[in-house]
Structure 1
C-alpha cells in the first residue's frame, strides 16, 4: 500500500511540477523560432531605414535633374546651388560636348573635357539606353564608370523643346556628396538610436561618413549598397547593442525566467509536500500518543482498582500483605499523577499558558533533595544513582519546580531504556557562563537519525525491542526542551547505541 506522504508527493508532481516542466521544454524549443521572427522584424525595420536613405539620395539627384530641365542651359547656376557638384556637361546625340561648367581652375578645363568625352564614349551603350527611356517618357539617372579619382559620374537623358535628346553629365565629388547631401538625412534617421556609416564596399576602414566618433566598423552586420553609388555601402547598427546581442540577451532572459519559475514551483511543491507530510506525521504521532497514554493510564487504574477492591472485600488476613497492596496502590497513584501532570503541563505549554517563577537556586542542594525524595522509586526499580557535585557552582535564576520536572523526566527515561547496567549518574559543572547538569545512563542509546527528533512532541524512539516495549507518551523530552528554552538555556544529547546516553542541561549563570 502506498503511504499517504508518497501519494501527496505524486499528486503535487503531477499537478505542479510536470506541467511547468513540459511548458518550459515547449517554450525553450520554440525560443529559436520566436527569436528568428524577432530577428526578421528588426531586420525589416533596419531595411526600411536603409531604403529611406537610398531613396533620399535618389531624390537629391532627381532634384538636380529637375533643375537642369527647368533652367535649360543655365548650368552655372546649378553648380553654384549644389556644393558637391564639380562639373555639369550637356552632350548631344553625337557625343559632342555642347556645354561644360566646372568649379576648378580654367587651365584644367581641357583635361576635364577630355576625360568627360572619354567617359561618355566608353559608356555609349548605357547612354543610348537612357535616351530610349526618355523617348518613352521615363527618365532614369545612371551611374557611369569614370576615370576621375574619388569622383562619381552620373548621366540622364534630357529632351529639350526642339525635341532633340541631349545627355546631361553630373561630375560629383563623392565625399562631399555623402557628407553634405546624405549626411543630414542620415543624422535625422539615426538620432540616438542607431549607428549609421557610409564606407567603400568591402573596405570598412575607408569610412566616408559615420554618426559615431570612432571610424571603425563597430562590427556592423546590417549593410546595403547605395543605389546610385554601388561601390559604397550603408551600414546600420542599433546603439548599445546589435540585433544578434538583443536576440541572444532576450533568449537568455527568457530561459532564466523559465528556469526561475520552475525552481519557484519546485520549491513551492517541496514546501507544500514537506508541510503536508509533517502534518500527516504529526497526526500519526498524536494518534500514537492517545493510544500510548490510554494504555498507560489504563494499567495503573486497573491495578489500583483490583488492589483496592481486594482490600475492600477484606480478603487479606496478613497485615504485611495489606501493606504491600497499599504500597502498590500508592506507587501506581503517584505514577498516574505524574502522567496526568505531564499531560497538563504539556497542554499549558501548547496553549502558551505555562508560567515560570524564577528564584535563586543552588543546583547541588536542589538535586540532592530531588534524589532523596525519588530514592524509593529508584530502589524499587533496582537502580543505583550517583551524584558528582561541583562545589564551586554558582547560584542560578530558575524555576526549580520546572527544572526538577525536567530532571525527573530524564531519570524516568534512563530507567525505561536501561537493560543490564542499572546505573544513573548526575553531574554538575561549570562551562563558561553556564552551569550544567549531566544526566547519564548506560542503556540502549539512541541512533543518530533519531537524536535530532527526540525533542519533537509525540516522537518516540521505536528502534530496538526495548524501545517498542517501553511505555511512554512521547511528550517528556518535548517538555524538557520547552523548560530549557524558558530558562534561556539549552539541552545537548550525546548518545551511542548500546552504550547509553548523556543529556546535558545548560543554565545561564548571569541571567537576570
Structure 2
C-alpha cells in the first residue's frame, strides 16, 4: 500500500503535465484550423476564377499577408503560453514604478491611435517579481483596456500597499462586461461575444490567460470587477518586499 501511494504521488505531476500538453495540442489544432481553412478557401476560389483582375489578385494577396500575420501572432502567443507552463519565474525585488512605466511605453501607439490618455499614480513600491513577466502582465491588461475603451477616454493606473501586499488597479471607461464573461475571461481561448467585442475583437482569447499564468507564478492574484457600460477594473495583488506603506 505504501509503495502504491508513493508511486501515485510520483506519477500525479507527470500525468498532470501530460494532460496539459495534450490539452494544449488540442486547443492549438482547433484555433489554427479555422483561419487556415479560410485562407485556403479564399485562394482556391481565386484560382478557379479565369477573369481575376490584377487589382483583385493584389487584394487577395494583401488579405493573405494579413491572415498570415495573425496566424504568426497566434503561434507566437501560444508558444509563449507553453513556455510559461514549463518554466519557473525567479522572483527578486522590483520597482513597481519602473514596471508600470515600461508597460505604458509599450502601449503608446494603440493609445494614441484612439486618443486615450493613461493616468499613472503608482507610488514608489518594491515588489517581489520577475520584471519582464510583470511588464508583460501589465501590458496585456493595458492593451485590453485600450481595445475595449471608446476614443477620448482615460485609463487610470493606481497602486497601494496593504498588509504586505501591493494592489495595482487598471481602471478603464470602456464597454464593461457581464458577470458570465467575468467568470470565464481568464480561461484559455475564451472570447467574449459580439456584445463584448463590438465586432472589433481580433484576439485569440490568450492574453488574459497568460496574465493569469504570470500572476500565479508570482504567488499573487488577479481579479476583475465590471459592469456593462460602466468600465472595467482589473486588480493585481503582488507581494511587497518587506514592510512598506503608501
TM-score bracket, shorter-length normalisation: 0.5 to 0.7
Tell me the secondary structure at the aligned position of residue 144 of structure 2: helix
User: Match of 1:355?
Assistant: 88
Q: Paired residue for 2:195, among 464, 479, 504? A: 464
1:341 deviates by 3.7
Cα distance in structure 2, aligned partners of 1:439 and 1:293: 32
**C-alpha contact 1:421 1:442 (8 A) present in aligned 2:** no
Give per-residue Cα distances to partners, 1:201-225, cap 9 Å, x unaligned: xxxxxxxxxxxxxxxxxxxxxxxxx
Q: Is the 8 Å Cα contact of residues 292 and 471 (structure 1) preserved in structure 2?
A: no
Q: 1:381 aligns with which of 114, 136, 161?
A: 114
Instruction: Please name the residue that 1:427 is paired with.
Output: 158
**CA distance change for structure 1 residues 415 and 283 in 2, over 3 Å: closer, same or farther?**
same
Q: Structure 1 residues 373 and 465, CA, compared in 2 at 3 Å: closer, same or farther? A: closer
Where structure 1 has 5 or more consecutive residues not aligned to the other structure, the ranges are: 1-281, 310-328
Partner of 1:444: 175
Residue deviations 1:50-80 (CA, integer Å, cap 9, x gap): xxxxxxxxxxxxxxxxxxxxxxxxxxxxxxx
Tell me the TM-score normalised to structure 1 length: 0.34
Q: Which runs of 5+ in 2 are unaligned?
A: 1-23, 41-57
Contact 2:115 2:151 in 1 (8 A): no
Spell out the pairing of 1:147-162 with structure 2 (5 A cutoff): none
Matches for 1:11-410 after TM superposition, within 5 Å: 289-290=31-32, 306=62, 339-349=74-84, 352-391=85-124, 393=125, 395-410=126-141
Match of 1:414 in 2: 145
Taking a change above 3 Å as real, the CA distance of residues 368 and 419 of structure 1, as seen in their structure-2 partners, is same
Kindly indicate whether residue 239 of structure 2 is the aligned counterpart of residue 508 of structure 1. Answer: yes
Q: Deviations over 1:27-49 (max 9, x none)?
A: xxxxxxxxxxxxxxxxxxxxxxx
**Structure 1 Cα separation of the partners of residues 187 and 171 of structure 2:** 21
Question: Is contact 1:415-1:422 (8 Å) kept?
Answer: no
TM-score, length-normalised on structure 2? 0.67
1:473 pairs with 2:204: yes
- Over aligned residues, Cα RMSD in angstroms? 3.6
SS at match of 2:157: strand
- How big is the shift at 1:291? 5.8
* Contact 2:114/2:152, CA 8 A, preserved across alignment: no
Alpha carbons of structure 1 residues 463 and 337: separation in structure 2 relative to 1, 3 Å:
closer
- 1:370 to 1:409, Cα distance in 2 relative to 1, 3 A: closer
Equivalenced residues, count: 198
CA distance in 2, matches of 1:467, 1:284: 28
Question: What residue in structure 2 maps to residue 156 of structure 1?
Answer: none
Q: Which has the larger radius of gyration?
A: 1
